[in-house]
């Protein structure tokens, strides 16, 4: 598919009530930088039902233009409806590139869209840039089980498509809303939507852990030694008003549920403060938390890789250091 513009598009996912999901707003941040380098506009694409709130969010977070598809058939995500709508828009406007959040919906939509348009897709990206030599987007993603980071270019086909992990980028600052709004009258007949959501069931025992939205995360790794070892992690998280995270090693051992996992096979996070306790710092874990504003590492191994990216480090036994930190914070708050 050819291109008509140098614009970069960002898909803004919506909730059933028409509000915006965080990941789409986050992607406006790198989207602004890439669009400027490409010499095009930053365009937010909003698909949903009663989407005024999401459209406003896109405008005040820096989109130059907002393309809106609004209809009852888009209230809940379906592969058929969303693929049809986006494929129609991309063929009509022909931008050079598009960012999609690597959410469950985005991971379903991205491959279907790339096949429909005959272009490539780079999935699960953790960094984005422009390749100076070719002008293509340089998509960075973990490869070979997370043991290295691959940079992928799509030189021959357009649009360039990629899914990007939630939590990798910060939301852009709020600014004056100057976005041009384009409302597309596009609808998908009911007989072309082959799936229907009958009921949403949440497991009563399932723990709700909002790692991606947390400002403070205290994580435990293999060094906590067992499920009981997470008691001191939880105490520090509680006194800080934070959330408990974990490395894959701790989750694989069954010490804590997968909903707490940070890293390549868990959640990608970018809190204001990340405290890593007993975590060595394998590349798979670093890929999920290295964009944190401040990183504090607590580990008895002076040579642990986690100290290479930490802003502050404590070398010693976490079961001595973490309780001391908790007590000092309690005193300061009192």
Binding residue per annotation — 264? yes
Tokens of 238: 């509680």
pLDDT at 205: 46
DSSP assignment letter at 121 = E
Arithmetic mean of pLDDT over the chain: 92
Q: Could you give the residue range(s) of every CATH 3.40.50.620 domain in the chain?
A: 8-192
Binding residue per annotation — 248? yes
CA distance 48 to 81: 10
pLDDT of residue 294 exceeding 90: yes
Q: What are the angstrom distances between the C-alpha of 81 and each of 23, 98, 196?
A: 20, 18, 11
CA distance 71 to 284: 40
Binding residue per annotation — 263? yes
Place of tokens 């009509």: 92
Place of tokens 């990206």: 125
> Apex CA 65: angle with CA 14 and CA 291, to 5°?
60
pLDDT at 146: 64
Binding residue per annotation — 192? no
User: pLDDT grade, residue 207 (50/70/90)?
Assistant: low
pLDDT of residue 178 exceeding 90: yes
CATH T-level fold of 216-333: Rossmann fold (3.40.50)
From the centroid of its chain, how far is CA 244? Answer: 18
Tokens of 299: 């580990």
Q: What is the mean pLDDT of the segment spanning 281-301?
A: 91
Reading across the β-sheet that carries 127-130, which strands appear in turn? 127-130, 137-143, 148-152
Binding residue per annotation — 222? yes
Binding residue per annotation — 134? no
pLDDT of residue 204 exceeding 60: no
Binding residue per annotation — 279? yes
CA distance 213 to 208: 12
**DSSP reduced 3-state for 29:** helix
Q: What is the mean pLDDT of the segment spanning 11-24?
A: 93
Reading across the β-sheet that carries 273-277, which strands appear in turn? 243-246, 216-220, 273-277, 294-299, 312-315
Binding residue per annotation — 299? yes
CA distance 303 to 310: 12
Query: Homologous superfamily of 8-192 in CATH?
Result: HUPs (3.40.50.620)
Q: Which residues pair with 175 in a beta bridge?
A: none
Q: What is the mean pLDDT of the segment spanning 116-135?
A: 92
Tokens of 149: 């980071």
pLDDT in tens, 61-72: 999 999 999 999
Q: Could you give the residue range(s) of every CATH 3.40.50.1220 domain in the chain?
A: 216-333
Binding residue per annotation — 284? yes
User: pLDDT grade, residue 203 (50/70/90)?
Assistant: low
Binding residue per annotation — 281? yes
Place of tokens 């293509």: 136
Rounded to 5 degrees, φ, ψ at 128 are: -140, 140
Binding residue per annotation — 257? no
Binding residue per annotation — 160? no
Q: Which of 291, 8, 287 is nearest to 136 (CA)?
A: 8
pLDDT at 264: 80
pLDDT in tens, 182-200: 999 999 999 999 988 888 7
Residues 44, 105, 172, 277: what is their CA dihedral angle, to the nearest 10 degrees? Answer: -170
Q: What is the mean pLDDT of the segment spanning 48-71?
A: 96
Binding residue per annotation — 262? yes
pLDDT of residue 9 exceeding 50: yes
């Amino acid at each position: 598919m050819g291109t008509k513009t140098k614009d970069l598009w960002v898909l803004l996912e919506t909730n059933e009530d028409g509000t915006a999901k965080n990941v789409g707003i986050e992607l406006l941040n790198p989207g602004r930088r890439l669009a400027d380098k490409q010499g095009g506009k930053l365009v937010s694409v909003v698909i949903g039902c009663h989407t005024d709130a999401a459209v406003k969010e896109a405008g005040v977070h820096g989109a130059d233009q907002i393309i809106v598809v609004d209809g009852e058939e888009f209230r809940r995500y379906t592969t058929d409806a969303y693929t049809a709508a986006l494929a129609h828009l991309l063929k009509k406007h022909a931008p050079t590139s598009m960012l999609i959040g690597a959410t469950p919906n985005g991971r379903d939509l991205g491959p279907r869209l790339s096949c429909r348009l005959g272009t490539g897709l780079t999935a699960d990206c953790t960094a984005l840039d422009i390749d100076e030599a070719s002008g293509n987007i340089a998509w960075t993603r973990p490869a070979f089980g997370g043991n290295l980071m691959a940079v992928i270019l799509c030189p021959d086909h357009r649009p360039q498509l990629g899914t990007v992990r939630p939590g990798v980028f910060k939301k852009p600052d709020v600014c004056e809303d100057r976005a041009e709004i384009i409302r597309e009258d596009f609808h998908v007949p009911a007989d072309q939507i082959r799936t229907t959501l009958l009921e949403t069931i949440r497991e009563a025992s399932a723990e709700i852990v909002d790692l991606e939205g947390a400002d403070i995360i205290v994580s435990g790794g293999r060094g906590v030694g067992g499920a009981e070892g997470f008691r001191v992690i939880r105490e520090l998280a509680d006194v800080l008003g934070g959330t408990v995270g974990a490395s894959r090693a701790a989750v694989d051992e069954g010490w804590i549920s997968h909903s707490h996992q940070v890293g390549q096979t868990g959640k990608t996070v970018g809190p204001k403060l990340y405290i890593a306790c007993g975590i060595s710092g394998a590349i798979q874990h670093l890929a999920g938390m290295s964009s944190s504003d401040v990183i504090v590492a607590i580990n008895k191994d002076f040579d642990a890789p986690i100290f290479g990216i930490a802003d502050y480090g404590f070398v010693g036994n976490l079961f001595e250091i973490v309780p001391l930190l908790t007590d000092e914070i309690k005193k300061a708050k009192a």
